[in-house]
A and B are shown apart, each in its own frame.
Chain A
Amino acid sequence: MLLVVVGVVPTAYAAELALTSFTGHFSGLTNFVESHDDFRFLPAFENIASFLAIWLTALLVLVVGLSLLLHSMNRRVSAAFRFVFYLPAALAGSASVMIWLFMLQPGDSPWDFALRLLGYKTLGGPLAPGALPVVFALIAFWTGAGIWILVMYGALTSIPREVLEAAQLDGAGVWRTVVSVKLPLIKKWIGFMLIVAFAAGTQLFTEPELTSQAARGLVSPTWSPNQLATWFAFRTDNFNYAAAICIDLLAIGLLCASVVVFRSGLFRTD
Chain B
Amino acid sequence: MAARSGMVRSGSSARQVAAFATLAAVAVFFVVPIVWLVLQPSNAVVRPWSFGSFDQIAQTWNQIFATNWIGGDTLLWLGNSTLYSAAGAAIAVGLCIPAGYGLAVTDFVGRRALLITTMVVMLIPANALVLPLFLEANAVHLLSSPLAVILPYGLFPFGVYLAYLYFDTARVHDLLTAARMDGCDEWQAFRRVAVPLAAPVAALIAVLDFVASWTNYFLPWVMYGALNTTGRYPVALGIAAQLIPGQTSGSYIGNLQLTTTTPPAEIALLILVTSAPVIVVFVFAQRWIGAGRLQGVFG
A interface with B by C-beta (< 8 Å): 1-4, 6-11, 13-15, 17-18, 20-21, 24, 62, 66, 69-70, 72-73, 77, 81-95, 97-103, 105, 107-112, 122-125, 127-128, 142, 146-147, 150-151, 154, 158, 174, 192, 196, 199-200, 202-203, 205-206, 209-210, 213-218, 226, 229-230, 233-234, 239, 242-243, 246, 249-250, 252-254, 256-258, 260-261, 266-270
Contact = CB atoms under 8 A, between A and B. Distances in A.
B279 A11 contact: no
Contacts of A266: 297-299
A214 B286 contact: no
B3 interface: no
B80 to A, nearest CB: 13
B187 A2 contact: yes
B102 A3 contact: yes
A21 B132 contact: yes
Nearest to B133: A17
A91 B271 contact: yes
16 contacts: A7-B101, A7-B103, A11-B99, A24-B135, A90-B215, A92-B236, A94-B237, A101-B243, A109-B36, A199-B128, A214-B243, A214-B246, A257-B119, A257-B124, A269-B112, A269-B119
A268 to B, nearest CB: 4
Contacts of A246: 128, 130-132
Given A20-B136, A218-B254, A233 B131 contact: yes
B99 A98 contact: no
A20 B129 contact: no
Interface of B: 12, 15-16, 19-20, 22-23, 26-27, 29-37, 46, 48-49, 95-96, 98-103, 106, 108, 112, 114-125, 127-136, 138-139, 155-157, 160-161, 165, 186-187, 190, 211, 214-218, 221-222, 226-227, 235-237, 239-240, 242-243, 245-246, 248, 252-259, 264, 267, 271, 274-275, 278-279, 282, 286, 290, 293-294, 297-299
Contacts of A4: 102, 106, 108
Contacts of B211: 90
Given A10-B96, A158-B298, A257-B124, A103 B33 contact: yes
A10 B92 CA distance: 9
Contacts of B117: 11, 14-15
Given A90-B211, A205-B218, A268-B165, 7 more contacts: A87-B30, A100-B33, A108-B46, A199-B124, A205-B221, A213-B245, A217-B245
Contact of B120 (A90, A94, A258): A258
B33 A98 contact: no
Given A11-B117, A218-B254, A90 B282 contact: yes
Contacts of B237: 94
Contacts of A249: 128
A2 B16 CA distance: 58
Contacts of A2: 186-187
A98 B271 contact: yes
A139 to B, nearest CB: 10
A181 to B, nearest CB: 17
A184 B240 CA distance: 43
B123 A260 contact: yes
Contacts of A84: 27, 30-31
A7 B127 CA distance: 24
B132 A90 contact: no
Contacts of B221: 205, 209
Contacts of A87: 30-31, 34, 282
B246 to A, nearest CB: 5
Contacts of A174: 12, 15
Nearest to B34: A87
A203 B26 contact: no
Nearest to A174: B15
B258 to A, nearest CB: 5
A187 to B, nearest CB: 15
A101 B160 CA distance: 37
Contact of B294 (A8, A101, A151, A226): A151
A112 B245 CA distance: 22
Contacts of A100: 33
B119 to A, nearest CB: 5
A87 B267 CA distance: 19
A11 B121 contact: yes
A110 B47 CA distance: 8
Given A127-B256, A214-B245, A110 B267 contact: no
A146 B215 CA distance: 15
Nearest to B187: A2
Given A92-B275, A203-B125, A123 B256 contact: yes
Nearest to B298: A158
